[in-house]
Amino acid sequence: STFTKTFDTPTFKGTIAVPLGLYINGEFVVPVEGGTLDVVNPATGKVVTSIAAGTKADIDIAAKAAKKAYKTSWGLKVPGAERGKLMMKLAGLMEQHIAEFAALDALANGKAYNTAYSRDNKGAIAVMQYYAGWADKINGKTIETNENKLAYTRHEPIGVVGQIIPWNVPMFSLSLKIAPALATGNTIVLKPSEITPLSALLFCTLIKEAGFPPGVINIVNGYGATAGQAISEHPLIEKVAFTGSTLTGRKIMEAAAKSNLKPVTLELGGKSPNVIFDDADLEQAVKWAIHGIYFNHGQNCSAGSRIFIQEGIYDKFLEQFTEQAREIKVGDPFSPDTYQGPQVSKTQFERIMGYIDSGKNDGATVHLGGNQIGQEGYFIQPTIFTDCQPNMKIVREEIFGPVACVMKFKTEDEVVEQANDTSYGLAASVFTKDIDRAIRVAHALEAGTAWINCANQTEISMPFGGFKQSGIGRELSEYALENYTNVKAVHVNI
Ligand code: NAD
């Protein structure tokens, strides 16, 4: 069956049709157990469509198809340049359909269409192109050994890799996973988030059109506890790469360890500090702090959710930050000036509102917002908490919503200690005009990414990933290729 929807919105007009099956071995198929899942529009709370949902039996079929494709029509059978060409073709098709991808993500995720278009999907295409360029540059080294020997390394594909992604940047996450795995010669079984499966289905139609051999990329929609768990456990799947919550990451690592000891790459949650010193450029610091926490409705793993402000600039910063947070345009994802749409789901909405209640109960002050907007859908006001203490739940746990916790500090030593007082370590920002302090603090913060005088930035050519419980391994850049290759050492006796 097919999902067809006609959009007549200020940002996107047109009809989109996507098949609703599981994409296995180059075909759309019906799930073995006939399962379905509902896709909900978070702007209205209403079901948009019901799609096919796979379970363990479907993952098994997909893994076998991927294994066969790896042995016969991908992996070491296909030169890197050929793989790169197909990937470039796929990127070109993604470009042709970018407006449709953005519309499907705005519909199921609730993010602004313009953001989905210009950030998520342009980013997804650029990632595909970047790794297409790497496909014929997966080189080993020759190594000196002081013996009569030729010694060299080869970076071989792992085989079948499993990939599990979340809902916050659906197409960007998908490309971030698929592109380096393809470039290095692996075949794939990927499960999108059950909350945002539609754009992945459109992507499946392009895999076919680009001409990938059947079984190279298999995309199986379904729930985490069934299809996701089956990917982590499957004996033919030799690696699992996951982006999502730390809780789920732990389950995946356990399942991977108990099955075939498959290696894991985990991109998990965060509670990133944003440290603003008295000598910062106030206007810039406010601008970036707004982007840091409120971009994508606060649904960013690297959101600057703990804002530490030095006492001399505190009042001025808070005034301007509050002013700008109040002006954020919250509304219909398809309206051209919307910055913030609804939160992604009822569950997330209730979770965030629960955190807001806990902040109030723990004695923090709601300085701005704190309430639902309207009666329909899952809209929440941009919210600022002041009077936050280090032991409060709102300061310690990832909220994944438009909620900033603001705290005052006196000295550099004190703020570095507070900023690092978290189990997470994904990203951190520091604002100051003092170059020595900027670098000293950036190095002292325990995070995989440190931003100086900016926030929430990624570059395709820069690695991204977590310290501590924010993850294992790096995505983006050349570093991501390591996630998908096995290094073989070859000793040749001369
Ligand atoms: P989630 O962990 O609930 O789900 C993520 C994915 O895992 C989904 O596809 C889900 O179906 C699947 N899943 C759930 N249970 C599973 C299980 N037992 N076994 C296998 N798969 C399972 O996370 P979410 O709510 O979709 O996403 C939000 C979280 O993702 C946040 O914590 C956020 O910080 C994190 N995130 C991290 C990054 C990063 O790069 N570090 C990027 C985006 C999101």
Q: Evaluate whether 325 touches 294 at the Cβ level (below 8 Å).
A: yes
**Would the pLDDT of 147 be above 90?**
no
**Would the pLDDT of 250 be above 90?**
yes
Give the distance, in angstroms, between the CA of residue 151 and the centroid of all CA atoms in the same chain.
39
> Ligand 1 centroid vs 245 CA: distance in angstroms?
4
- Distances in Å between the Cα of 57 and the Cα atoms of 165, 219, 228 are 20, 14, 12
Q: Please tell me the distance from the alpha carbon of residue 480 to that of residue 184, in angstroms, as a whole number.
A: 10
Q: What order do you get walking across the sheet with 485-493 strand by strand?
A: 142-143, 149-157, 485-493
Binned at pLDDT 50, 70 and 90, residue 268 comes out as very high
Q: Evaluate whether 98 touches 121 at the Cβ level (below 8 Å).
A: yes
> Ligand 1 centroid vs 319 CA: distance in angstroms?
35
Per-residue pLDDT at 4: 97
State which ligand 1 atom lies nearest to the alpha carbon of 400. Answer: 31
> Ligand 1 centroid vs 354 CA: distance in angstroms?
20
Following DSSP, what letter does each residue of 154-166 receive, concatenated? Answer: EEEE-SEEEEE--
**Do you know the residue count of the chain?**
494
Q: Please tell me the distance from the alpha carbon of residue 207 to that of residue 184, in angstroms, as a whole number.
A: 17
Q: Please tell me the distance from the alpha carbon of residue 369 to that of residue 382, in angstroms, as a whole number.
A: 6
Per-residue pLDDT at 284: 98
**Which residue's CA is minimally distant from atom 9 of ligand 1?**
193
Per-residue pLDDT at 119: 97
State which ligand 1 atom lies nearest to the alpha carbon of 169. Answer: 43
Which one of the listed residues 194, 238, 301, 412 is annotated catalytic?
A: 301
- Buried b / exposed e over 413-425, threshold 16 CB at 10 Å, is eebbebbbebebb
Per-residue pLDDT at 103: 98
**Which residue's CA is minimally distant from atom 18 of ligand 1?**
225
301: annotated active-site residue: yes
Q: Evaluate whether 249 touches 268 at the Cβ level (below 8 Å).
A: yes
> Ligand 1 centroid vs 165 CA: distance in angstroms?
6
CB half-sphere exposure, 437, CA atoms < 13 A? 18
**Which residue's CA is minimally distant from atom 35 of ligand 1?**
244
Where does ligand 1 bind, in terms of residues with CB under 6 Å?
164-168, 191, 193-194, 223-225, 228-229, 232, 243-245, 248, 251-252, 267-270, 301, 398, 400, 426, 466, 471
Q: What pLDDT digit, counting tens, does each position of 193-219 carry?
A: 999 999 999 999 999 999 999 999 999
User: How many CB atoms neighbour CB 44 within 10 A?
Assistant: 13
Per-residue pLDDT at 161: 98
204: annotated active-site residue: no
Q: What percent of the chain has pLDDT over 90?
A: 99
**Which residue's CA is minimally distant from atom 40 of ligand 1?**
267
Residue of 248, 268, 398 to mutate, ligand 1, most atoms within 8 A of C-beta: 248
Binned at pLDDT 50, 70 and 90, residue 228 comes out as very high
> Ligand 1 centroid vs 88 CA: distance in angstroms?
28
> Ligand 1 centroid vs 224 CA: distance in angstroms?
9
**Which residue's CA is minimally distant from atom 36 of ligand 1?**
244
> Ligand 1 centroid vs 120 CA: distance in angstroms?
17
Strand partners for 403: 383
Residue of 56, 163, 164, 264 to mutate, ligand 1, most atoms within 8 A of C-beta: 164
Read off the pLDDT of each residue in 444-454 and give the average, rounded to a whole number.
Answer: 98
State which ligand 1 atom lies nearest to the alpha carbon of 223. Answer: 11
The complex's ipTM?
0.94
Q: What is the mean pLDDT of the chain?
A: 98
Residue of 301, 344, 398, 470 to mutate, ligand 1, most atoms within 8 A of C-beta: 301
Read off the pLDDT of each residue in 45-53 and give the average, rounded to a whole number.
Answer: 98
Element (H, E) at 264: strand 264-267
- Buried b / exposed e over 265-278, threshold 16 CB at 10 Å, is bbbbbbbbbbbbbb
Binned at pLDDT 50, 70 and 90, residue 146 comes out as confident
